[in-house]
Amino acid sequence: MDTFALIVTVAVALFFTYTNGFHDSANAIATSVSTRALTPRAALAMAAVMNLAGAFLGSGVAKTVSEGLIETPQGSKGMGILFAALVGAIVWNLVTWYFGLPSSSSHALFGGMVGAALAGGTDVLWSGVLDKVIIPMFVSPFVGLIVGYLMMTAIMWLFRRSNPHKAKRGFRIAQTVSAAGMALGHGLQDAQKTMGVVVLALVISGNATFDDPIPVWVKLVCALMLSLGTYAGGWRIMRTLGRKIIELDPPQGFAAETTGASIMFTTAFLFKAPISTTHVITSAIMGVGATKRVNAVRWGVAKNIVLGWFITMPAAALVAAAAFGIVNLVAL
């Protein structure tokens, strides 16, 4: 029964990664598709490959997720908590995908873990949640907004005397690189989050300890599921990011993607903080768009997106708590 619970929980974790992939594929490629730098299928294929590569670049984020947010729950109850956390995250991912709202899969997962832990009587490491989740949740969008604005301002100044058509053609080519960097950063951040959950499941079941290195098979299957989900695409959210916030041109797309990728690599390697790729790229797009003129950004759409950010963690937590209640009645 314990082995069966482990297999089911790992399978659900991998399905969460798949939903993360198609939910967040827009983060990496919406700008390059909307500026016609890449065709949708070429962009998705490139993003899938780079997501796979990014998953093998580090393990700091995975360690934060597995050890830094909740006390390690024990036994079958612990596996039930982890299962419920994943259910909460998956449900919220599917709801926001249906409505085309680019919410954070990462914060859905963290909210699910907190909600399930509280429902199951497991301690939440609030200092870890504050330092690694809440503070980055508020800081990273502001950083994305400001850095995106400054990046685009610098590009406009450097290329102020360039032929506009030649400059756009050059930036359309450069966007291939910046989109690849975004996808690599997404793999670095988001594949590791599921790795952390799978490692936690292995520790709960007694098949691993936190001192062990992450097994290669865990890295591989998490990366593959993220890549498969990415290739499946998230067209509803892609339209929101690529068109509804602002109509982007190639220099703006390059600036937004470069900003997003830079922030993701910095936070993963320096702070081991699992930030939201959705928050970073969305705020970078807003910052880039504001250089055109402030009202060029459709702030009404932006307001709805930001509202979605704030309700993601509590909503996923509530679903996870309800899911644990059901699991507790049926299986524990």
| pLDDT tier at 126, thresholds 50, 70, 90 | very high
pLDDT in tens, 127-153: 999 998 888 888 888 899 999 999 999
Task: Give the 3-state secondary structure of 138-202.
Answer: HHHHHHHHHHHHHHHHHHHHHCCCCCHHHHHHHHHHHHHHHHHHHHHHHHHHHHHHHHHHHHHHH
- Listed in sequence order, the residues at least 6 apart from 228 whose beta carbon sits closer than 8 Å to its beta carbon are 18, 21, 48
Q: What is the pLDDT of residue 237?
A: 59
**What does the pLDDT average to over 205-228?**
91
Mean of pLDDT over the chain: 86
Per-residue model confidence (pLDDT) at position 72: 92
pTM above 0.75, yes or no: yes
Maximum Cα–Cα distance for the chain, whole Å?
69
Q: What is the pLDDT of residues 12-57, one digit of tens each?
A: 999 999 998 877 766 667 777 777 788 877 888 888 889 889 888 8
Most confident of the following: 249-258, 260-269, 314-323: 314-323
Domain count, the chain: 1
At 235 the pLDDT is 59
Tokens of 86: 């994943």
> In DSSP terms, which residues pair with 70 in a beta bridge?
124
Q: What share of the chain in percent tops pLDDT 90?
A: 42
328 closest CA partner among 84, 113, 3, 1: 84
Per the structure, the complete domain to which residue 40 belongs is given by: 1-331
